[in-house]
Structure 1
């Protein structure tokens, strides 16, 4: 194999690996809001925003904690790791940081806060945040079928042998009728 091709393939492989955003990098102990009790511990937790409360000089976030993936983004798996409150100085607009958005928080544990979840008394770990990273909204993936990618011809599809693209059936062709300026639109 020639050297330029090897270097290109290696660069592509490295670029495809998950990377943690610079603001979230660092060394953190593996803990969750349910089992964290020591003040001053550096944490990197994330999850879905439940509530945002702007105050006079800071903004506090109530977050439903989720497991983080390799890029420090909360996973979409079911179940939670508890709840926590993270406060950071400055104003964060509740319209931008709205309920259900994913965030990852970096900061120091600073005691607990007591509150209620419905009628249940709940003790929230409190994080003095040095970073609140708002993740872009996830775009749902839709199935995409490209007949030219898989070829066209005889082969096996979902329903057995047949003639056609990938799924074994003939391609569906959708034609648009041109609109003529002198004819009214339906």
Structure 2
């Protein structure tokens, strides 16, 4: 989501960057995989503070036409959608990579058994 703006007549206008969707309809991929922006209109008021910029959303609705607005100094033609269903996805948690321990652990080697007795245990 790029921005959300309350409107007097139509509820809330949400500017969204299109991204490919996964099998669960969650936006995936890099920002460079986008096919552009679109405007989605929600019938009710949505507080812009509850949907901060960068929030991943999925909308379902009817394409209603186009609208031309300025993006920096360029006139950009946005497709418009009337929202029937809106899903706000929780933030993705970063996947941390942990280094393995520099040793193999207590159960490594030819001695494997209770209390690490030096008895050979066959697999």
TM-score (norm: length of structure 2): 0.76
Partner SS state of residue 67, structure 2:
strand
Unaligned 5+ segments in structure 1 are 1-48, 155-186
Partner SS state of residue 76, structure 1:
coil
Unaligned 5+ segments in structure 2 are 110-123
Per-residue CA distance 1:39-72 (angstroms, 9 max, x = gap): xxxxxxxxxx111001125111000111111111
Q: Say yes or no: does 1:53 pair with 2:2.
A: no
Inter-CA distance 129–75: structure 2 relative to 1 (3 Å threshold)? same
TM-score (norm: length of structure 1): 0.52
Please identify runs of 4+ aligned residues in structure 1 that moved more than 6 A.
Answer: none
Which residue is 1:64 aligned to? 17
Q: Say yes or no: does 1:141 pair with 2:95.
A: yes
What are the within-5 Å matches in structure 2 for residues 79-158 of structure 1?
A: 79=32, 80-144=34-98, 151-152=105-106, 153=108
How far apart are the structure 1 equivalents of 2:52 and 2:25? 20
The alignment covers a number of residue pairs equal to 104
How far apart are the structure 1 equivalents of 2:63 and 2:11? 16
